[in-house]
Structure 1
Amino acid sequence: MAITIRDASREDEARWLELWNGYLAFYRVSVAPEVTASTFARVFDPASALKMRVAELDAKLVGFALFLTHEGTWIKGHDCYLEDLYVDAAYRGQKIGKALVDDLVAMSKEKGWSRLYWHTAEDNRTARALYDRYVQSDGHVRYRISFEK
């Protein structure tokens, strides 16, 4: 079974929505339907920094990585921020998450981005076991003020 990583296409929307809903359920959060629709649409908007890579296993979409690049004050180039990574629960343990991260590592090097970074829930042991293979936590604590209702 070969894992294929590729850019998302508009034809992926229905399956991505299934995966996205699984991702939200995993984190026990809800996102308004119009935000979900906007997220998917922005992936294909040339003016948006948001991009998506998807993982296929035997031609079935089984995971995704949403990311964006941005300038930073401590670097001359761009940072790549991996905002969301999810693999269908039925396909975990098959190195799909690793393939998605490896893809972003390779893309970061190829495009000359200065850094790749992400965060995850402190108690997400499965994700942290994967992420710790790449780099140990840098000790930063995230603070977030939400202004959306």
Structure 2
Amino acid sequence: MTVTVSPARPEDRARWSELFVGYAEFYEVGLTPADLDRAWSWIHDPARTTCCLLARAQDGTPVGLAHYRAEDSPMHGTRGFLDDLFVDPAHRGGGAVDALLGELRRIAAEQGWPSVRWRTAENNYRARAAYDRHAVRTAFLTYAMDTVR
């Protein structure tokens, strides 16, 4: 399959929503219409740093997404952070992940980011195999502190 990558466009909203819901379901997170509205608005708000790349099949249909942003690090300067990456299960193995990560690498270099970081679930073996082709696994663990009790 030939895959191209480009930023999300307004006319991509419906398909982007399907992909983002699929991503959230994998992580057992329910997204409300308000959640989708918020994320979509961030992607198109020039005052926000959240961006979205879409992997597209030959006919232009989005088959995968990558949400990323600039992340300031006092020790390392500004670098990239990949929040979400998802490919429609029917299109996995067709090069969408490689195309998305390749474009993200190009953008990061263009922006002067020394690196792009991301997290994934320990049991996300298929994605981890793809990530191992593009990046080095770090030794850092992730913690989450609830702010509402």
* Aligned pairs (5 A) from 1:9-88: 9-58=9-58, 59-76=60-77, 78-88=78-88
AA aligned opposite 1:68: R
1:103 match: secondary structure: helix
AA aligned opposite 1:62: V
Q: Which moved more, 1:83-92 or 1:1-10?
A: 1-10
CA displacement at 1:64 relative to structure 2: 0.6
**Equivalent residue pairs, number:** 148
Q: Which runs of 4+ in 1 moved over 6 A?
A: none
* Partner in structure 1 of residue 143 of structure 2: 143
1:132 match: secondary structure: helix
| Long gaps (5+) in structure 2 | none
2:133 match: secondary structure: coil
* Partner in structure 2 of residue 2 of structure 1: 2
AA aligned opposite 2:84: D
CA displacement at 1:148 relative to structure 2: 6.7
AA aligned opposite 2:42: R
* Partner in structure 1 of residue 98 of structure 2: 98
Return the TM-score normalized by structure 1: 0.93
2:142 match: secondary structure: coil
Output the CA distance in 1 between the equivalents of 2:121 and 2:71. 23
Output the CA distance in 2 between the equivalents of 1:125 and 1:50. 26
Output the CA distance in 2 between the equivalents of 1:146 and 1:100. 32
CA displacement at 1:46 relative to structure 2: 0.7
CA displacement at 1:138 relative to structure 2: 1.0
Output the CA distance in 1 between the equivalents of 2:88 and 2:20. 9
Higher relative contact order (CA 8 A, sep 6+): 2
